[in-house]
A = this chain, B = another copy of it.
């Protein structure tokens, strides 16, 4: 059986452990040598970021580290038995983004990735090399080899109220030229100007506490699916949309030119798993993201947002939590406990999702 999963970071990683467990595999080890089954994950790369000249791919790494059994399961992200010497030193140097913690083992991965990228290898080839090294059992594909970066439009958090009629505080420094602030400034009234900041600045530095006025995966419309992505969709026996963030994880994958079309045309059924339980995201800041795009933070809201495939949407079926409700024409709705407490519990979710579309091993 070929299972293709659309996945984001931590939630996607946990879901993949469950898919492996569903197949009877070691969730944190390589695939069995005689495995007939295949798991392919199409992973969001729109929250990738270059920091200190290192190309960081948080979602790919979350999926890799978890499925290879080298993740810190307590902290929920990054490597187990991690040290933090480099980050502490960089902070002391006054380097950029001290709010983005990079462990030392993690940095080694970024050094390898960046070196390969700078040598001309596409991200998909780098990811293949990392998978060959770590043997996560799952084939991890970046959604695209092209640069896509989610930016979030917010009111400038650094704006000094009443500091003048200029568009932002930089205008108030006499004799200064145009601002070198890399953030895009929109508007010029007395109100705080709008700025577009990198997803990670919004998500990590500001903990998604700034109201997002727009969330845009810059470059997605010009991006092509990475090699293998469309094939993995075409060849799948079932396609699962992990309970990842519908906006900044699944939404960005769908925004890459050609992926939504491939999913629409797939012979396999497409089943989503709700990331919202009882009106709350299981983790992360999906509520703020959904609000930004005008979607209700509920199983029904996400179901309607994804839409039924028969009506031009994404899903044939949607698995929601016991106690939640959703009704969408053309979309089968199933219920199951959705807390991914451990790989076995998550395997039950996977089984329920496949049952919904009558796919069996």
Contact = CB atoms under 8 A, between A and B. Distances in A.
A114 interface: yes
A104 interface: yes
Interface in A81-133: 82-83, 85-86, 89-90, 93-95, 104-105, 107-109, 111-112, 114-115, 118, 133
Contact of A104 (B53, B54, B104, B118): B104
A86 B108 CA distance: 5
A54 B89 CA distance: 16
A341 interface: no
A115 B53 contact: yes
Number of copies of this chain in the oligomer?
2
A133 B52 CA distance: 17
Given A83-B83, A85-B85, A108 B133 contact: no
A95 B113 CA distance: 11
A82 B85 CA distance: 8
A85 B104 contact: yes
Q: How large is the interface on A (under 10, 10 to 19, 20 to 34, 35 or more residues)?
A: 20 to 34
Contacts of A90: 108, 111-112
A116 to B, nearest CB: 9
A93 B108 contact: yes
B93 A133 contact: yes
A85 B103 CA distance: 9
A107 to B, nearest CB: 6
A52 B115 contact: yes
A334 B27 CA distance: 73
8 contacts: A53-B114, A82-B85, A83-B85, A86-B105, A86-B107, A90-B108, A94-B133, A107-B107
Interface of A: 52-54, 82-83, 85-86, 89-90, 93-95, 104-105, 107-109, 111-112, 114-115, 118, 133
